[in-house]
Amino acid sequence: MANLRLRSDIIDEVLIRLSASTTLGYYTDTILNNWETQSHQWAAGFRKWPFTEARVSTTYASLVTDEDGLLRGEYPEGFKADSIRYLTIGGKKLDKKNIFKFRQFIEDNPDDDEKIYSDFGRNYYINPKVDLSGTIMVWGQYTPAADITDENELTVFSGYEPDGNEAIVLEMLSYSMLREKKTQESIAYHKKATELLDIIWKRVTDEQFAYQSTDDDGMFKRIDVLGGALREDTLKRDQWY
């Protein structure tokens, strides 16, 4: 397999496998650059890769109050819709809620300062009564932007999973077969690209086996039925000493 790291490496490899040259006019630089961009974005969005995770911060002052009285912020540029998984304000975590449950809660409890947020489309919404301030930090998934003018640009796979660049080559070859009206060959190349990305994803998930849950994970908090209190409130460290 060729050493594929840069955009130019990928495009050159496609031309080699096609035994073609951009001087022929059939595969112009514009066409190849567009194919590389499309294939790169397709492969980058194929799974929720660890190397397309991002953390972005903004100021609390950047939020606006919308017509419904909710605090609204825009998704960071490049972030996928609905991909914010964790949000903090001033280091304090907010719980994510379904947008409809969130709106209902705000309507039913207009003065409640519960630390909750939700998102809809390309915006996220925060309970306007939260008693928090400072930096807003969001963790989520982004789609890489491509600069087709930079031939030395790395892909999201370069340095992490180089086989992903081979999948980009295969997807570009799939596009070329469509251009030549070779439908079956196009399908075959796309299938190979998909299978290769699935193999990479299997390696990623195999490495995640060591993730462990904390003791307080779970859908429900444990309650002392007799005392009527939460378990963590009734059992304290060293309470018998």
Would you list the domain boundaries of the chain? Answer: 7-45+143-206, 53-142
Q: Are 152 and 135 in contact (CB under 8 A)?
A: no
Residue 130: name the closest of 62, 60, 74, 83 by CA: 60
Strands (E), the chain: 53-59, 64-65, 71-74, 86-89, 92-96, 116-120, 123-126, 135-141, 223-224, 229-230
Out of 158-162, 180-184, 206-210, the most confident range is 180-184
Round to whole Å and give the CA distance between 32 and 35: 5
What is the arithmetic mean of pLDDT over 126-150? 86
Q: What pLDDT is stored for residue 144 in this prediction?
A: 78
pLDDT at residue 112 is higher than 60: yes
Residue 71, C-beta contacts closer than 8 angstroms, at least 6 positions apart: 63, 64, 65, 125, 126, 127, 128
Q: What pLDDT is stored for residue 62 in this prediction?
A: 84
Q: What pLDDT is stored for residue 236 in this prediction?
A: 47
pTM value?
A: 0.74
Record the tokens describing residue 175, joined without a space: 């596009």
- The confidence band for 216, taking pLDDT boundaries of 50, 70 and 90, is low
pLDDT in tens, 64-86: 998 888 899 999 888 888 889 99
